[in-house]
């Protein structure tokens, strides 16, 4: 009777598949004329994955050496702040484009979330 794959082996398999996909994409990126915004979004996604993978690697190293993971959590928080800043700037740019139809409910929810965040930030900066 075969044993069920572990979460770790499933993740390893998915990562190997993703690596193969990225290598295949590398050739496509060099051979096709893609819109700048698509390339920018792709690079940002890759950067987030790269930073998360680095943080995961640091977390494993911290566990092996008996250190806490506080520094890793702080790095992940810093990465989320960086990405949030970039998203805010991109949303500001989008709001200036008249050809984009925004849903009022989504804008209202975003406004509420950003107001709450701004109130929390006032006590931290």
For residue range 71-107, what is the model confidence (pLDDT) as tens digits? 777 877 888 888 899 889 989 999 998 888 989 999 9
| Cα 57 → chain centroid | 16
| pLDDT for 70 beyond 90 | no
CA distance 42 to 94: 18
pLDDT of residue 76: 78
Report pTM: 0.58
Q: What is the pLDDT of residues 21-59, one digit of tens each?
A: 988 888 888 877 888 888 888 888 888 888 888 888 887
* CB neighbour list of residue 5: distance below 8 Å, 6 or more residues apart: 13
Q: What is the pLDDT of residues 7-31, one digit of tens each?
A: 888 988 998 998 899 888 888 888 7
pLDDT of residue 25: 86
Place of tokens 């200036």: 96
| pLDDT for 1 beyond 70 | no
């Amino acid at each position: 009777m075969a044993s069920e794959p572990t979460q770790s082996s499933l993740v390893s398999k998915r990562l190997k598949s993703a690596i193969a996909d990225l290598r295949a994409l590398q050739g496509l990126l060099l051979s096709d004329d893609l819109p700048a915004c698509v390339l920018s979004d792709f690079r940002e996604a890759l950067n987030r994955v790269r930073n998360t993978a680095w943080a995961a690697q640091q977390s494993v190293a911290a566990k092996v050496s008996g250190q806490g993971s506080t520094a890793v959590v702080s790095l992940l928080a810093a990465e989320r702040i960086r990405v949030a800043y970039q998203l805010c700037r991109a949303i500001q740019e989008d709001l200036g484009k008249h050809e984009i139809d925004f849903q009022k409910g989504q804008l209202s929810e975003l406004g509420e979330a950003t107001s709450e965040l701004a109130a929390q930030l006032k006590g931290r900066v």
